[in-house]
Amino acid sequence: MFYIYCPYCGEHREEEEFHNHGQAHIERPADPDSCTDEEWGNYMFFRKSSKGLHHEIWDHVAGCRKFFNVTRDTVTYEIKEVYKMGEQPKVVAE
pLDDT in tens, 22-78: 999 998 899 999 999 999 998 899 888 778 999 999 999 999 999 999 999 999 999
Q: What is the pLDDT, as a whole number, of residue 38? A: 92
CB 39 within 8 Å of CB 30: no
* The model's pTM: 0.86
* pLDDT above 80 (res 5): yes
Q: What is the pLDDT, as a whole number, of residue 6? A: 98
Q: What are phi and psi of 60, to 5 degrees?
A: -85, 75
Q: What are phi and psi of 78, to 5 degrees?
A: -70, 130
* Burial grade of 72 (CB within 10 A; 0-12, 13-18, 19 or more): buried
CB 72 within 8 Å of CB 90: no
Q: Which helix (H) or strand (E) holds 61?
A: none
Q: What is the pLDDT, as a whole number, of residue 11? A: 95
